[in-house]
Amino acid sequence: MLRLRSSLACVLAAAVCVAASAADPPWTRAQALQALAHEHTGTRVAAIERLAEIGTMHDADALAGRLRVDDDAAVRELVALAMWQIWSRSGVPAIDALLQRGVEQMHGGELDAAVATFSEVIRRRPAFAEGWNKRATVLFMLGRDAESLKDCDEVLKRNRHHFGALSGMAQIHLRRGDPERALQAYQRALQINPNLNNAAVTLHMLEQAVRARRGQMI
């Protein structure tokens, strides 16, 4: 998980105070969605955190809009984290546990085992985009770029807002010596989430790579 900046920690602390002082029951999904555009930052944060807990893929699409319009950078970062949390829920506890096992294998360096685990997730829940995304990640780590790209395509068929898959595609295309496609994929990722880490630096690097390649082709 990304390290939260100090400003985000302050926002979260304010949200906790709001929640602690409220005697009302937890928000419903509809209430949280309505509060996403509230003028008070603490209320928006509380709404985002609630959707991270109970939101559906449809709610993740609603959250995606906040990545571009919220005027608080810390809140935008929290939105991205909430989207990842929602994306990682299949709706079936056994599948979610299997996904988590694959993540642990991946982080533990058991890459072949992780591929097998994520393949089982896909077999059992093919509509679950994050199963495809996690396998794409491991395949990239193994240098199996063509297979990873195919899995990224499957992710985007199921989750058009998956800026992580698009960023991954940019890395793969660049490694394969195709900066034009890398730039296209990264620009698509930024259209969804302009708050990606080191976005300006990465975009500039890809643009330079494209110019250099075109210069070599003249």
- Of 33, 65, 87, which residue sits at a domain end? 87
Q: Is residue 1 part of a domain?
A: no
30: Cβ contacts below 8 Å, ≥ 6 apart: none
pLDDT reading at 22 higher than 90: no
**CA 91, 94, 98, 103 torsion-angle sign:** positive
Q: What is the pLDDT of residue 195?
A: 95
Whether residue 81 sits in one domain with residue 106: no
CATH number, position 172? 1.25.40.10
176: Cβ contacts below 8 Å, ≥ 6 apart: 145
List the single range of 14-28, 34-48, 134-148, 157-171 with lowest mean pLDDT.
14-28
Structural domain span for residue 41 = 6-87
pLDDT reading at 3 higher than 50: no
Which pTM was predicted? 0.87
